[in-house]
Structure 1
Amino acid sequence: MGRGKSSGGVEVRPNSIRISFTLNGERCRETLTLNGEPLAPTPANVKYARRVAAEIRDKIRHGTFSYHEYFPHSDAAAASSVPLLRDYLETWLNAVKPQLSPATLRTYRGKAKQWVAALGDERIDQIRHSQILQVLAGASDVTAKTRNNLLIVIRGAFDMATRDRIVDANPCDGIRNGRHQAPRPDPFTKDEMIAILRELHERHPEPIAALIQFKFFTGVRTGEALALSWSQVDLRANTVLIDRTLTDRALKMSTKTSQSRLVNLTRPARAAIDTMQRWTRLRGANVFCDASGEAMLDGRVVNDQHWRVVLKKLGIRYRDAYHTRHTFASLALMAGAKPGYVAKQLGHSVQVFFARYADWITGQDDAREADRINATIDEAFAPGGSPKTGSA
């Protein structure tokens, strides 16, 4: 039989009615049925079909169309129930959001956008291992850490899809993380630190100078200092409890390592706390504040308006304010403090601490060992480096 009349997405055939519509750029055609049998092309049924066709087009426009709802027995319904990568990445991000800091969530959202740009319109059950590799190969000019973050996002989404039984296997299997080399600690010298603090105290607001001094002499992270409240300060015991941090202007009730620690106040750190008593103690909230006395929610203000300015004026090579932490560690070790104690103050495991600060831990011992070698060499060599006459 020939093809029937078609208008408004409804095709009237001799013994049935077929609806056509465009979904995700593809033309779809479905026969209307009732109890498993084609719907007869009566005037009433044709009118009903036009209403259904208009409803489907409207839902497609608004992104609410469900193929399975309208055509549960269609082969296309099974295929359409598999989400596109763009949609499933959003589902995964919403699922892991409660476990992530705002900063980490922002990073993951950025990486998810890169995957959406590359493969977002693909059904997740049709994405292949080779496609993942191609996207990662296109990011070859980025750092290992950035590539790893890309991989964390896509691997995490497919891990969840595997558990949801949407895909049979994770196409990321067999792709290893790149080796990320953490930057070497680059502390300020004692003279540089003194010059920075002197400039801050003389020409910058008192709360800013107190904050930087506190960081230099406790080694706490910027977010930990900004989140410090007076309820965490024990002036009698001369300690502060570090158990929360501020990240992306939001308070997170745990530290970066998810472990609290008790930090002993050195004399300069205690002096910084005493200074802030005049500014914020009566309010009973955050210890540190900005120049106007308001709570400080973003450490970048300190960096851009004060820290960077001071270093430039003093001609000190720029390092961000995180290096106050490395400075505390290096000065403490050079002063003879036990590595285990310094590690505990910083919230590091001893293993991580030794790996990161090995140069300062062994520095004095290394010098002594070098002196022993030189003493042996001096017995056989003249000062200029030539063998002494008559030496074996």
Structure 2
Amino acid sequence: MGRKPMDHPDGVETRGNSVRVRFTWNGQRRSEPTPYQPTPKGLAAAGGLRARVKELIRLGAMTDDLYAELFPNSSYNLDRKTPTFGEFAQVWLDSRDIVEGTRDNYKSVFNRFWMPAFTAKRIDNITSSDIRRVVSSIAWESPGVRRNAMDKLSSLMGAAVTDGYNARNPCLSMPRAKLPKRPVDPFEREEAERIIADMYQHLTGPTKIYAAYFEFAFFSGMRPGEQRALKWAELDKEKRRAHVCRGIVKGKLCERIKTKSVRDVLLNDRAMNALEVARSLAVDGAEFVFAPVDGSSEFIKSDSTTKKYFMASLTRLGIRRRRQYDCRHTYATMCLMANMKVGFIANQLGHSVQMLLSTYAKWINSTSDWAELNKL
């Protein structure tokens, strides 16, 4: 015995596994797909959608923007003035002056967390409640991942406000997650000296470049990506300066640095000594100061190349393992302990004074703690 056909509300039809609604707008007969299934419940929902559409048309409240929101898969050409989230996100991201690695990070975050929920939704119709629902539905890997995703969404929604699409940024009503700051873990000056001496002792031939690399890292304070991208042409031996204007991001040269502001780093005797060693090991026509010994590239693409030499030295010396980036922190704390001016140190590191004060507050205080106590 055949199944009894389901009753269809007026203006609702099924085509295969899809449900469509029919109506007339602007003198044209329309047939639009809906997200509903051809079940009694789905057909009833489609009937309710059609009734809402007809009421909006009757009241003269239907616009192209609203039509696009109700029927995101419409095949009709619409003269929309307000973009969808997906459209705005693409244009906004394409217009940003950011490095490729940062652009890829933005794409990954949007595609993973926000596009599934908001792609077809008009940018000005996304509310704080909408965002809260999405946030609560995601099993976040960590507070840091959640905060990063929210920060990027807030930047985009802020741009929508600036462009006049939104009256306010819906992310602002959601408090920004507080994260524990990763502690700065520099080496002691004595540890740094032992590491450098150990490397010069155990690395011979072309591999001695890595001993020079870490001597320079400990006594110049450059970011690792900046140091690996440093060229001989950017060194002024007489003025003892290094012009920092590029970095390496994901193995590729980037003609800008993290803070987007180039700077000149003054070089002390130890940094100059490292450069002398590097020059003695450089091949004719070498462009970059620190080149990998295997000749795989003109510059060291990743810190994994230098990591094995660094960790091997720590193991030999019995020094607690830390990141290579802590060489930069070591330089900063040595400068602070030597009572150098905070402004000078900030310029050397490419930091703002505020960032320097917040990052290295412990060492700034320690330089004067006993002097302050002695006033008592």
Task: Give the direction of change, closer, same or farther, for the CA distance of 1:352–1:307 in structure 2 (3 Å limit).
Answer: same
Task: Give the direction of change, closer, same or farther, for the CA distance of 1:31–1:372 in structure 2 (3 Å limit).
Answer: closer
The structure 2 residue matched to 1:305, chosen from 284, 308, 311, is 308
Distance in 1 (CA, whole Å) between partners of 2:367 and 2:167 is 57
120-129 vs 363-372, greater mean Cα deviation: 120-129
- 2:226·2:248 contact (CA, 8 Å) conserved in 1? yes
- 2:250·2:302 contact (CA, 8 Å) conserved in 1? no
Q: Counterpart of 2:5? A: none
Task: Give the direction of change, closer, same or farther, for the CA distance of 1:228–1:173 in structure 2 (3 Å limit).
Answer: same
**Equivalent residues in 2 for 1:224-243, closer than 5 Å:** 224-243=226-245
Q: Counterpart of 2:150? A: 151
Identity value in percent: 25
- 2:218·2:330 contact (CA, 8 Å) conserved in 1? yes
AA aligned opposite 1:149 = N
Q: Does structure 1 residue 314 correspond to structure 2 residue 295?
A: no
Q: How many residue pairs align between the two structures?
A: 318
Query: Equivalent residue of 2:264, what SS?
Result: strand
Q: Counterpart of 1:53? A: none
Task: Give the direction of change, closer, same or farther, for the CA distance of 1:75–1:288 in structure 2 (3 Å limit).
Answer: closer
Q: Counterpart of 1:248? A: 250
1:296-319 Cα deviation digits (max 9, x unpaired)? 342332354322333334332222
Task: Give the direction of change, closer, same or farther, for the CA distance of 1:342–1:36 in structure 2 (3 Å limit).
Answer: closer
1:164-208 Cα deviation digits (max 9, x unpaired)? 666665432422423445333211012221222223223341122
Q: Does structure 1 residue 332 correspond to structure 2 residue 335?
A: yes
Task: Give the direction of change, closer, same or farther, for the CA distance of 1:20–1:370 in structure 2 (3 Å limit).
Answer: same
AA aligned opposite 1:27 = V
Q: Counterpart of 1:387? A: none
TM-score normalized by the length of structure 1: 0.68
Distance in 1 (CA, whole Å) between partners of 2:68 and 2:141 is 41
Q: Counterpart of 1:274? A: 276
Residue 150 (structure 1) shift: 0.9
Query: Equivalent residue of 1:217, what SS?
Result: helix
Q: Does structure 1 residue 361 correspond to structure 2 residue 359?
A: no
1:267-309 Cα deviation digits (max 9, x unpaired)? 1211111122234474252111112243234233235432233
1:77-114 Cα deviation digits (max 9, x unpaired)? 57436876556544443333xx2223322332332133
- 1:200·1:209 contact (CA, 8 Å) conserved in 2? yes
Distance in 1 (CA, whole Å) between partners of 2:262 and 2:165 is 40
Q: Counterpart of 2:19? A: 27
The structure 2 residue matched to 1:217, chosen from 196, 216, 219, is 219
- 1:303·1:320 contact (CA, 8 Å) conserved in 2? no
Q: Counterpart of 2:181? A: 182
TM-score normalized by the length of structure 2: 0.71
Structure 2: tracts of 5 or more residues without a match: 1-11, 31-62, 73-77
Distance in 2 (CA, whole Å) between partners of 1:221 and 1:111 is 26
Distance in 1 (CA, whole Å) between partners of 2:68 and 2:334 is 67
Distance in 2 (CA, whole Å) between partners of 1:113 and 1:261 is 36
- 1:186·1:326 contact (CA, 8 Å) conserved in 2? yes
Larger Rg: 1
Structure 1: tracts of 5 or more residues without a match: 1-17, 40-71, 374-392
Q: Counterpart of 1:93? A: 93
RMSD (Å) for aligned C-alpha atoms: 3.6
Q: Counterpart of 1:109? A: 107
Distance in 2 (CA, whole Å) between partners of 1:276 and 1:230 is 10
309-318 vs 231-240, greater mean Cα deviation: 309-318
Q: Counterpart of 1:14? A: none
- 1:239·1:262 contact (CA, 8 Å) conserved in 2? yes
1:209-265 Cα deviation digits (max 9, x unpaired)? 211111100000001101111111011111111122111222222221122221121
